[in-house]
């Protein structure tokens, strides 16, 4: 059967053929980029080797030449998104404030990429971007006078706190999102919780009954900042000597 040359116009009575999109060559970067798009649109559970392969118009087997399994893919995704974290230039006089700045940056990046923080929980950082962040945190603590053992423990504690807060934030986002009805339902539920607390036996739960307003107020950012402040103050309490210039 004769084929129509691409440099000739479509003959009368025939429909013009659409050019097939050029398939993008597979690479680890392409696979990770595609997985992150799925993550941002549908969440971490939607990211599977099969789903990513479908997005790329290929079969799952072709991905294994570049990524060993789903777990490695998720770790690569985490390291890629943490490359968006903006790190400050170390200033010994501001080491505590800068530790907070990094924590807020990590939280911002995590919560902008679905529930990627779930990957970070329990993970020992080995990717280049994660190692760069850990190095920056350790450097700030060391120039601030924090002993090596305390700095090593503290960088882990900070990571767990940020991870947990980011995961909780994505749970609320997934549950409520931009749905006004969902938020209205949440506020009604919160008022019911307040009423429940006030109705508890005061002789058994005097502090809860007496602190209903305090226990049920404060936005997520305020609560994150408070917990972060407690952690940084605790780390600073181990400083043996004032920061060096």
How far, in Å, CA of 44 to CA of 114, rounded?
Answer: 7
What's the pLDDT score for residue 203?
93
Residues 34-45: tens digit of each pLDDT: 999 999 999 999
- What is the count of structural domains for the chain? 2
- Say whether both 63 and 99 belong to one domain: no
The string of DSSP letters for 197-212 reads HHTS-TTT-HHHHHTH
Per-residue pLDDT reduced to its tens digit, 78-97? 999 999 999 999 999 999 99
13 part of a folded domain: no
Q: Which has the higher per-residue pLDDT, 187 or 52?
A: 52
In terms of DSSP H, where are the helices of 85-147?
A: 95-111, 117-120, 128-143
Looking at the structure, tell me whether residues 60 and 148 fall in a common domain.
Answer: no
| Domain carrying residue 39 | 28-67
Check residue 189 and give its pLDDT: 81
Domain assignment present for residue 139? The answer is yes
pLDDT score recorded for residue 180: 66
CATH label of the domain that carries residue 52 = 1.10.10.60
Residue 207 resides in a domain = yes
Are residue 97 and residue 61 in the same domain, yes or no? no
Say what the pLDDT of residue 20 is.
44
- DSSP secondary structure letter of residue 45: G
- Same-domain status, 129 and 225: yes
In a domain, residue 5? The reply is no
Q: Are residues 139 and 36 both part of a single domain?
A: no
CA separation for the pair 82, 89 (Å, rounded): 17
Tell me, yes or no, whether 54 lies in a domain: yes
Q: Are residues 217 and 159 in the same domain?
A: yes
- Cα 164 from chain centroid? 10
Same domain, 124 and 166: yes
Is 61 in the same domain as 182? Answer: no
In a domain, 87, yes or no: no
- pLDDT for 49 beyond 90: yes
The per-residue pLDDT of the chain, averaged, comes to 86
Is 86 contained in some domain?
no
Domain check: are 60 and 102 in the same one? Answer: no
- Domain membership of residue 76 (yes or no) is no
| CATH assignment of the domain containing 132 | 1.10.357.10
- Residue 3: phi and psi, rounded to 5, are -110, 150
How far is the C-alpha of 186 from the C-alpha of 179, rounded, in Å? 11
Record the pTM: 0.80
């Amino acid at each position: 059967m004769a084929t129509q040359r691409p440099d000739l116009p479509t003959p009368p009575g025939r429909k013009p053929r659409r050019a097939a999109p050029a398939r993008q060559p597979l690479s680890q970067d392409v696979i990770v980029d595609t997985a992150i798009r799925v993550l941002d649109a549908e969440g971490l559970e939607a990211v599977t080797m099969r789903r990513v392969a479908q997005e790329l118009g290929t079969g799952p087997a072709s991905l294994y030449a570049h990524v060993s399994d789903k777990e490695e893919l998720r770790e690569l995704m985490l390291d890629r998104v943490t490359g968006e974290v903006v790190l400050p230039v170390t200033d010994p006089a501001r080491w505590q404030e800068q530790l907070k700045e990094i924590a807020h940056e990590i939280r911002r990046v995590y919560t902008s990429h679905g529930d990627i923080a779930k990957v970070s929980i329990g993970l020992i950082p080995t990717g280049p971007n994660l190692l760069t962040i850990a190095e920056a945190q350790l450097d700030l603590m060391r120039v601030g006078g924090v002993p090596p053992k305390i700095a090593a423990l503290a960088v882990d504690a900070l990571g767990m706190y940020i991870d947990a807060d980011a995961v909780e934030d994505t749970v609320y986002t997934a549950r409520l999102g931009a749905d006004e009805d969902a938020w209205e339902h949440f506020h009604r539920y919160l008022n019911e919780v307040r009423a429940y607390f006030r109705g508890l036996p005061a002789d058994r739960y005097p502090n809860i009954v007496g602190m209903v307003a305090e226990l049920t107020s404060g936005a997520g950012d305020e609560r994150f900042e408070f917990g972060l402040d407690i952690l940084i103050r605790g780390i600073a309490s181990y400083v043996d000597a004032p920061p060096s210039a």
